[in-house]
Amino acid sequence: DKIRIALAETPSDELAAFFVALDRAKANGLDYEWTAFSDEELAIQAVLSGQMDIGFGTPYSAMQRSKAPLRIIFQLSKLKFFPVTNKKYSKLEDLAGEPILLHSRGGGTDSIANVIEDKMGFKFGKRSYVPGSSNRVVALIAGQADATIIDLSNKNKVVRQQGDKFNVLPMFDVEASDEALFANLDWIQSNEEDVQIFVNALLSTWQDMNEDPTIISKETNPDGPIGQLPKEILDELDGFYTDAIAGGLYDANGGGRKGAQADMEWYSQAGQLEGDPASLNVEDFWYMAPLDAAMAK
Amino acid sequence: MKIFGIRLPRMSSLILWGLLWEIIGRIEFSFFVPPLSAVFATLFEIIGTAAFQKAMYETSYAFISGVFFAIVIGIPTGIIMGKNRLIDELLLPWVNIFLSAPLTALVPVLMVLFGFGMKSIIITTTLFAIWIIILNARAGVMQINRSLIEMAHSFGASSWEAFSKIYFWAALPEILGGVRIGVIRAVKGVIIGQLLISIVGFGALFELYSANFLMKHFWAVLIVLFALAFTISEVLAYLERRVSYYAAKR
Amino acid sequence: MAMPQTNALSEESPSTADIAVSARNVSKNYDNVEALKDLSLEFPRGQLTSLLGPSGCGKTTLLKIIAGLLEPSAGTVHVNGQAVTGPGPDRAFVFQDFALLPWASVIRNVAFGLELRGVATSEREAIAEKYINDVGLSGFEKSYPHELSGGMRQRVGLARALSVDADVLLMDEPFSAVDEQTRRKFQEDLLSLVANENKTFIFVTHSIEEAVYVSDQIAILLPRPSRVSDIIRPTGLREKDLTTIRRDPEYLDIVDEIWTSLKTYVE
Amino acid sequence: MAMPQTNALSEESPSTADIAVSARNVSKNYDNVEALKDLSLEFPRGQLTSLLGPSGCGKTTLLKIIAGLLEPSAGTVHVNGQAVTGPGPDRAFVFQDFALLPWASVIRNVAFGLELRGVATSEREAIAEKYINDVGLSGFEKSYPHELSGGMRQRVGLARALSVDADVLLMDEPFSAVDEQTRRKFQEDLLSLVANENKTFIFVTHSIEEAVYVSDQIAILLPRPSRVSDIIRPTGLREKDLTTIRRDPEYLDIVDEIWTSLKTYVE
Amino acid sequence: MMNRSLLLKLLSAFIVFGTWEIAGRIPVSYAFPTFIESMKALFDMTVDGRLFAAYGETLKPLVIGVIISAIVGIAVGLWSGLNEWFDWLFSPIFIVMQAAPLAALIPLLVMIYGIGLTSKIFVVCIMAMPVIVLNTAGAVRNTPSSLTEMGRSFQASNWEVILKIIIPAASPVIFSGLRLGVSAGFIGAILSELKITPTGVGDIITYSRSIADYASMYAAIFSIIVLAVLFLNVLEKIERFLFEGNNRGYASD
Ligand SMILES: Nc1ncnc2c1ncn2[C@@H]1O[C@H](COP(=O)(O)OP(=O)(O)OP(=O)(O)O)[C@@H](O)[C@H]1O
Ligand SMILES: Nc1ncnc2c1ncn2[C@@H]1O[C@H](COP(=O)(O)OP(=O)(O)OP(=O)(O)O)[C@@H](O)[C@H]1O
Ligand SMILES: [Mg+2]
Ligand SMILES: [Mg+2]
């Protein structure tokens, strides 16, 4: 049977690498179909209710709360987000008590804000939420917000186009996952073979991409969902992946134990995992076997 | 509307509004409003692409199936409600609730109950369209001239004959009115479904274009949708006018 | 037989004649309205009986009970000796408000009764054609009801009822919508129908003159709850010349008598 | 004055009487329908004039032109010597289809004409009360039109027109929806109104008997395009006893005469 | 009679909620709570005041938007029902608006009007207004001419004809437009909270979902539906109160 993949957003430049990996997996005999959901929570919900097999996202709180045995099998990208502000602010401490624009309550940027508060020992002012980094950039440029946290590619755009008007505040490094692939443990175990092909393809793509970011645009199937994007977007593919690799967005090892450990710490600190990070069992959240096997090859 | 004795067609003022749009676009009033001509140029460019045709296919598929179910279920339900007091009293509160409830809030529930694929989108579309179709069919039946029904009975009509030869036709003006409003709501439903459930079809294009600030593309797709919805609604309005000659005389 | 028989005849004359329809002790209550109460009345075959009574007294109700469209709360109706349990092919109804299908052409409307009886298209259209002609509507076969004047519409309903060739014709104020001129023509047509076909007519009207002019027997109903207060048989009039009947003293006597009997109910 | 004056009098008698309303060479075309053509007619003050003619001949059109609701295509209408340019307080209309406000109670409907003339609430309700009583609707002040029978609705429209106390009453088939019994009562009420108040009535009806019974002057209209074909003044009847008038040979003569004159138009 | 219809209402509610409860107990999905769980969550939310705070946020754009739509919509509808020129010029705009899937426009609105109250009000208005305008205009055009003629025959001024005849006569259709408009406004308000910025009830829905607290999510959805229904009942009461005689009940009775 086909495996059913739940994407957390519509196919765009950020998913090009993933689709390249899918093509590689297909060449090795993986049969799949994908559905794009409007947000991560829906993808999680879809996997939870068994309507999808593999989902996109970091479902740590769902893992702890729901009775379903969800496990992560591969880290797709890291939480590389950047506080961008107008010239009023020049370092993180300046944001104490100031309002900030984030993606969504309980989402990745929210967790970054929590950790910043934690590490710096201050509180932000009112948090408001606008989903989509590009929408937050618009809000920033239109002067409707003074500070926000946005993703790598949008940060680069702002720096390139309006670098004189906005500051990117220096911030500590984050190794935790932004997007990961997860599935129901029972399903993983009964589809061991498919999962292995998939993880192999992902790992090889991620490794090749770290060597040469332009393979993504080269390998992109012109008739696939990415190849069909408007030319304006495709033209920027190489730039996007070059920046992303330089910025460390994609881990060549698919996260693995190191990434899992980083997640435990990060999400506990961010308040999305309950309990002491040391006492949390990584095996309850990650299923390492396919990744280990792929690494061994 | 008549001007200098010449009859202006019903929708001709849209040309005026299009011109206004073009001017606003030309003076570069806002980045968000490109000139209409540029939008049309983009439209012709993307209309041949596989992505557009796929979106078109997915959207029409969901839309047509959704409307189909709404009509096929809605009209008989409405007619039965109009005929039978007990069923009416059982169902009417719910029909009213669903007609007025913010269906967008229900979409997450639908996803859980009916899955995340095309099925939920179709159901969302159906749910947007069906309630007004039911209510209108019911209203149509309730205002039927009783003596038409008695006439059919007095000539020995069976229930099926009464349904197909009297109730349906007598309620047709209301039914068509309901279908027209229902279809318009269905266009909203299909896009809302595509945006909130799984991002496919035109919903996906909107999402993509607006996230990447491709305004011309955005407006081009929107115009296609406007045109589709508009055409369907005008066709139904035309049918409605065709039968309205007897609406006032039943 | 020159004198109108004004009373007490209700017990005798029906027994001598052949009775097509008889209502026995019929009562009818709507939720809390008592429309008919213990009403008994017989309708001789081949004759025209008029029902006359104040508005809302239950004339339509009685007609619908005879047609089998309503069930009486008590009592029975017999048509040709059979108890009525529902509509049947032996009775045809002419509705007070025509009951035409607005979406169907004149010919389809006239043929509708036959259509429901399963008569094939070509055959029923031929029959309909004949009756359209009879009521003077030829040329309007393809017209729709809304293109006709009130009087023409009423004639379509009449043709439809005639086309099914039922024994008993139930006519609820069949001429109410036509103007006086057309009405008079219809009354004359009706009289020749009664004379030439052995059908039983039950006829509701508000016009005393009309009732006297067209009826073999007039039943005067009391206000709700309705019973028969009087039966008048203007038999002597049938032999007279139609053009002068309206100034005939006998005719005028009957009209006056009915008028006096009804007058008491008008507020 | 014992003989009815059937013709040629249209030129003489109005000149002797006081003319309240006069229509001169009025024509009216709807898009491509010629409804009235060069129609002239005078309406004497304090009298009741009936318009009689086949359906669709333009009676309502003429009434609306007099009311100032329609503009004639040609010709003029004078009311009390003044040319009509629009509706005025000197004329009140009783509409063929009642034109009641469905959302308003009977008393508000009856008082609506006064409300539009700015009469204070308490005063206009007192007046409305009186007319509701006159038309026999007391007890129904708080009812809504849909709770009334057809005849009762028509009476509400009548009361509304009477309550504004206009000089000229334009009545378009005002008794068409009431049953015969009530209709006769109304005819008698109307006669006493004409006798007691110096108002001018213009009255449309389809019933020849009604026209002859209530009118001072009857205008017979030709089918479309309409002109006046005949004016009949059944003056001699006014002095006679109401209870016996229906068998009066004079009355019957006039009815017959009108009937013959109209008969030609019936298909 | 009253009791019978109440009984039937209760019965049908019982059937529906019972089905929900059973479906939740099976369960049809990990993400589908039972009726009782949801009601408990609703109770908790109400008691700790979260629900009221959320509605404080949600109702602001909704109420403002609906009021603006009602006033502007009825005025524009009246005008285009009365004036041929105005109708020719503007009603195509509203027909396009009514037919158009405005949900897709939300991202644009955010860009133009930002993330604040303004763009939410705007969303509510563009969802609610077209149907109000079009219904009003249609109803005004369909006012029985005999009623307006009657008014004129009693020398009503133009304003009196509008206020005392046209508006009451059109009121059933205007109110049904308002009903559909308010319901569309609710859709707009929720949509803007799901798609623009999660505040108020939309925030409860999205946040509960993101932390997999599905009972709270369903409780929020339930409450908004109840609110919409209450809102519309109030509207119906207003209509009944204003134009009592227009309510003619079952045609069959
Ligand atoms: N469906 C009904 N429900 C309740 N009451 C009814 C119903 N139909 C008729 N009635 C009542 O029964 C009585 C008789 O009605 P019916 O229609 O038989 O009168 P009618 O003699 O035909 O009057 P008309 O001369 O006005 O046609 C009336 O008082 C009416 O109010
Ligand atoms: N608004 C209109 N547009 C076009 N034709 C009209 C209009 N109103 C009336 N007519 C036509 O004008 C003619 C006269 O109509 P009118 O209503 O005056 O007749 P009437 O004598 O009152 O008839 P009735 O006895 O049926 O009331 C009719 O043939 C009708 O078809
Ligand atoms: Mg009747
Ligand atoms: Mg008329």
Max CA pair span of chain E: 70
- Is D54's Cβ below 8 Å from some Cβ in C? yes
Q: How far apart are CA A229 and CA A200, in angstroms?
A: 26
The per-residue pLDDT for C3 is 41
Same domain? B32 vs B55: no
Question: How far is CA A76 from each of CA A56, A177, C29, C55, C71, rounded to the nearest angstrom?
Answer: 9, 7, 79, 85, 77
Instruction: Enumerate domains of chain C plus CATH numbers.
Output: 16-90+167-265 (3.40.50.300), 97-165 (no CATH)
Residue B153 belongs to some domain of the structure:
yes
Q: Is C10 helix (H, G, I), strand (E, B) or coil?
A: helix
Give, for ligand 2, the residue of D59, D63, D95, D172 to mutate: max count of ligand atoms closer than 8 Å to Cβ: D59
Contact B100, E175 (CB under 8 A): no
- CB contact residues (below 8 A), chain C span 148-187, against chain D: 149-151, 179-182, 184-185
pLDDT tens for residues B134-186? 988 888 887 777 778 888 888 878 888 888 888 888 888 888 888 988 888 88
Contact B11, E92 (CB under 8 A): yes
For E8, the closest of B13, B90, B113 (CB atoms) is: B90
Most D-contacting residue of C137, C187, C266 (CB-CB within 10 A), to test interface = C266
B99, B93, B192, B120: which is closest to E184 by C-alpha?
B99
The band of C12, judged by pLDDT with boundaries at 50, 70 and 90, is very low
Q: Which tokens sit at B130?
A: 């069906």
Q: How far apart are CA D205 and CA B47, in angstroms?
A: 67
**Where would I find the beta strands (DSSP E) of chain B?**
2-3, 6-7
Output the CA angle A35-E210-A53, nearest 5 degrees: 35
Same domain? B102 vs B226: yes
The per-residue pLDDT for C27 is 92
E touches D, CB cut-off 8 Å, minimum 3 pairs = yes
Number of domains in chain B: 2
Residue with CA at minimum distance from ligand 1 atom 4: C30
Question: How far is CA C93 from each of CA B249, C109, C205, rounded to the nearest angstrom?
Answer: 21, 14, 15
Give, for ligand 2, the residue of D61, D93, D228 to mutate: max count of ligand atoms closer than 8 Å to Cβ: D61
- Which of A2-11, C117-126, C134-143, E43-52 is predicted with the least confidence, judged by mean pLDDT? C134-143
Closest residue in E to D88 (Cα–Cα)? E155
Closest residue in B to A37 (Cα–Cα)? B198
What backbone phi and psi angles, to 5 degrees, belong to C226?
A: -85, 135
Residues with Cβ within 8 Å of residue B228, at least 6 apart in sequence: B187
Burial letters for C196-229: b for 16+ Cβ neighbours within 10 Å, e otherwise? Answer: eeebbbbbbbbbbbbbbbbbbbbbbbbbbbbbbb
E248 contact residues in D (CB cutoff 8 A): 102, 146
| Ligand 2 atom showing the smallest separation from residue C179 Cα | 25
- CB contact residues (below 8 A), chain E span 179-218, against chain B: 179-180, 182-183, 186-187, 189-191, 194-195, 201, 205, 209, 217-218
B156 and C69 in contact by Cβ < 8 A? Answer: no
D206, D248, D249, D256: which is closest to D232 by C-alpha?
D256
| Pairing of β D228-232 and β D217-221 | antiparallel
Contact E245, D145 (CB under 8 A): yes
Structural domain containing residue B5: 1-36
Instruction: Give chain C's mean pLDDT.
Output: 82
For E31, the closest of A48, A138, A142 (CB atoms) is: A48
pLDDT tens for residues E219-251? 998 898 888 888 878 888 887 777 765 554 333
The per-residue pLDDT for C4 is 42
The per-residue pLDDT for E101 is 67
For E155, the closest of D88, D103, D146 (CB atoms) is: D88
List residues bridging with A179 in a β-sheet: A77
Same domain? B85 vs B203: yes
Q: How far is E40 from chain D (nearest CA, A)?
A: 45
Residue B42 belongs to some domain of the structure:
no
Q: How far apart are CA B165 and CA B162, in angstroms?
A: 5
A touches E, CB cut-off 8 Å, minimum 3 pairs = yes
pLDDT tens for residues E75-90? 999 998 888 888 888 8
Residue D11 CB-density burial (10 A; 0-12 exposed, 13-18 middle, 19+ buried) = exposed
Same domain? B55 vs B163: yes
- Is C23's Cβ below 8 Å from some Cβ in D? no
Residue B63 belongs to some domain of the structure:
yes
- Chain D interface with E: residues with Cβ < 8 Å: 64, 67-69, 86-89, 91-93, 95, 97, 99, 101-105, 112-113, 115-117, 144-146, 164
Give, for ligand 2, the residue of D39, D60, D95 to mutate: max count of ligand atoms closer than 8 Å to Cβ: D60
The per-residue pLDDT for D8 is 39
Q: Report whether the peptide linkage leading into residue E27 is cis, meaning its omega lies within 30 degrees of zero.
A: yes
The per-residue pLDDT for A135 is 80
For C146, the closest of B153, B170, B249 (CB atoms) is: B249
Residue C259 CB-density burial (10 A; 0-12 exposed, 13-18 middle, 19+ buried) = middle
A65 and E213 in contact by Cβ < 8 A? Answer: yes
Q: How far apart are CA C258 and CA C135, in angstroms?
A: 31
List residues bridging with A5 in a β-sheet: A34, A54
Integer Rg of chain C from CA: 18
The per-residue pLDDT for C149 is 67
| Residue E119 pLDDT greater than 90, yes or no | no
Give, for ligand 2, the residue of D27, D28, D33 to mutate: max count of ligand atoms closer than 8 Å to Cβ: D33
What backbone phi and psi angles, to 5 degrees, belong to C136?
A: 80, 35
- DSSP, residue by residue, C178-219: S-HHHHHHHHHHHHHHHHHS--EEEEE-S-HHHHHHH-SEEE
**Where would I find the beta strands (DSSP E) of E1-150?**
none
Q: Is B6 helix (H, G, I), strand (E, B) or coil?
A: strand
User: Between D and E, how many residue pairs show a Cβ–Cβ distance under 8 A?
Assistant: 64
Give the ligand whose atoms come closest to the C-alpha of residue C32: 1
List residues bridging with D156 in a β-sheet: none
Task: Determine the straight-line distance between the first and last CA of chain A, rounded to whole angstroms.
Answer: 26
Cα C264 versus chain centre, distance: 25
What backbone phi and psi angles, to 5 degrees, belong to D137?
A: -115, 15
Instruction: Enumerate domains of chain E plus CATH numbers.
Output: 52-244 (1.10.3720.10)
Distance D30 CA to ligand 2 centre (A): 9
Residue C65 vs residue C265, higher pLDDT: C65
D181 and C256 in contact by Cβ < 8 A? Answer: no
pLDDT tens for residues C26-43? 999 877 678 888 999 999
Distance D57 CA to ligand 4 centre (A): 8
The per-residue pLDDT for D24 is 92
Same domain? B139 vs B28: no
Give just the sign of the alpha carbon dihedral B182, B186, B188, B192.
Answer: positive
Output the CA angle A216-A217-A222, nearest 5 degrees: 115
The band of C265, judged by pLDDT with boundaries at 50, 70 and 90, is low
Q: How far is D113 from chain E (nearest CA, A)?
A: 6
Output the CA angle A284-A286-A288, nearest 5 degrees: 125
Q: Report whether the peptide linkage leading into residue C225 is cis, meaning its omega lies within 30 degrees of zero.
A: yes
Name residue, tokens 């001949």: D57
pLDDT tens for residues E89-98? 888 888 888 7
Q: Report whether the peptide linkage leading into residue B173 is cis, meaning its omega lies within 30 degrees of zero.
A: no
Same domain? B117 vs B159: yes
The per-residue pLDDT for A51 is 82
| Residue C1 pLDDT greater than 60, yes or no | no
The per-residue pLDDT for D134 is 83
| Residue C79 pLDDT greater than 90, yes or no | yes
Residue B43 belongs to some domain of the structure:
no
The per-residue pLDDT for C200 is 93
Q: How far apart are CA C44 and CA C57, in angstroms?
A: 23
- DSSP, residue by residue, A147-187: EEEEEHHHHHHHHHHHTTTEEEPP-----SEEEEEEEEHHH
The band of C242, judged by pLDDT with boundaries at 50, 70 and 90, is low
The per-residue pLDDT for D3 is 41
For E205, the closest of B14, B105, B232 (CB atoms) is: B105
| Residue B71 pLDDT greater than 90, yes or no | yes
- For chain C, give percent helix, strand, coil, nearest 5: 40, 25, 35
Same domain? B130 vs B23: no
The series of mean pLDDT values per 10 residues for chain A, 297 residues long, is: 87 90 92 85 83 88 80 91 89 88 84 88 87 82 86 86 87 87 92 92 93 91 86 88 90 89 87 81 88 87
The band of C7, judged by pLDDT with boundaries at 50, 70 and 90, is very low
Instruction: Give chain D's mean pLDDT.
Output: 82
Q: Check if C58 has its Cβ closer than 6 Å to any atom of ligand 1.
A: yes
Same domain? B114 vs B148: yes
Question: How far is CA C76 from each of CA B150, C46, C204, rounded to the nearest angstrom?
Answer: 20, 22, 20
D64, D71, D66, D61: which is closest to D35 by C-alpha?
D61
B250 and C99 in contact by Cβ < 8 A? Answer: no
The band of B103, judged by pLDDT with boundaries at 50, 70 and 90, is confident
Residue with CA at minimum distance from ligand 2 atom 30: D56
pLDDT tens for residues E153-183? 888 888 888 888 888 888 877 888 888 888 8
Residues with Cβ within 8 Å of residue E32, at least 6 apart in sequence: A49, B112, B113, E23, E24, E214
Supply the CATH number for residue B186's domain.
1.10.3720.10
Residue B107 belongs to some domain of the structure:
yes
For D116, the closest of E147, E151, E171 (CB atoms) is: E151
B250, B95, B123: which is closest to B194 by C-alpha?
B123
The per-residue pLDDT for B10 is 72
Same domain? B182 vs B93: yes
Residue with CA at minimum distance from ligand 1 atom 22: C60
- Which of B7-16, B36-45, C107-116 is predicted with the least confidence, judged by mean pLDDT? B7-16
| Pairing of β C19-30 and β C74-79 | antiparallel
The per-residue pLDDT for C177 is 64
Q: How far apart are CA E163 and CA B124, in angstroms?
A: 40
- Which of A210-219, B93-102, C188-197, C232-241 is predicted with the least confidence, judged by mean pLDDT? C232-241
Same domain? B8 vs B59: no
For B156, the closest of C89, C95, C102 (CB atoms) is: C89
Distance C172 CA to ligand 3 centre (A): 7
Closest residue in B to A137 (Cα–Cα)? B211
Residue A283 CB-density burial (10 A; 0-12 exposed, 13-18 middle, 19+ buried) = exposed
Residue B16 belongs to some domain of the structure:
yes
Same domain? B17 vs B118: no
The per-residue pLDDT for D127 is 94
The per-residue pLDDT for C212 is 87
State mean pLDDT over C231-249: 75
Same domain? B63 vs B98: yes
The helix or strand, by DSSP H or E, that contains position B196, with its residue range, turns out to be helix B172-196
Predicted TM-score of the model (pTM) = 0.77
The band of E102, judged by pLDDT with boundaries at 50, 70 and 90, is low
Residues with Cβ within 8 Å of residue A109, at least 6 apart in sequence: A81, A102, A103, A149
Confidence check on the interface: ipTM exceeds 0.90, yes or no: no
Residues of chain D with pLDDT under 50: 1-16, 266-267
| Residue B232 pLDDT greater than 50, yes or no | yes
D116 and E154 in contact by Cβ < 8 A? Answer: yes
Q: Check if C52 has its Cβ closer than 6 Å to any atom of ligand 1.
A: no
B212 and A42 in contact by Cβ < 8 A? Answer: no
A52 contact residues in B (CB cutoff 8 A): 116
C36, C35, C33, C44: which is closest to C10 by C-alpha?
C44
Q: Is C221 helix (H, G, I), strand (E, B) or coil?
A: strand
Contact B55, B201 (CB under 8 A): yes
Give just the sign of the alpha carbon dihedral E236, E238, E241, E242.
Answer: negative
| Residue C106 pLDDT greater than 70, yes or no | yes
Contact A291, A198 (CB under 8 A): no
Q: Which tokens sit at B156?
A: 């020995």
The per-residue pLDDT for A73 is 92
Contact D92, D168 (CB under 8 A): yes
Question: How far is CA C43 from each of CA C171, C186, C202, C218, rounded to the nearest angstrom?
Answer: 14, 22, 8, 10
Burial letters for C69-91: b for 16+ Cβ neighbours within 10 Å, e otherwise? Answer: bbebeebebbbbeeebeebbebb
List residues bridging with A101 in a β-sheet: A128, A148
Q: Is D231 helix (H, G, I), strand (E, B) or coil?
A: strand
Question: How far is CA D14 from each of CA D11, D41, D45, D200, rounded to the nearest angstrom?
Answer: 7, 10, 9, 13
Distance B174 CA to ligand 2 centre (A): 28
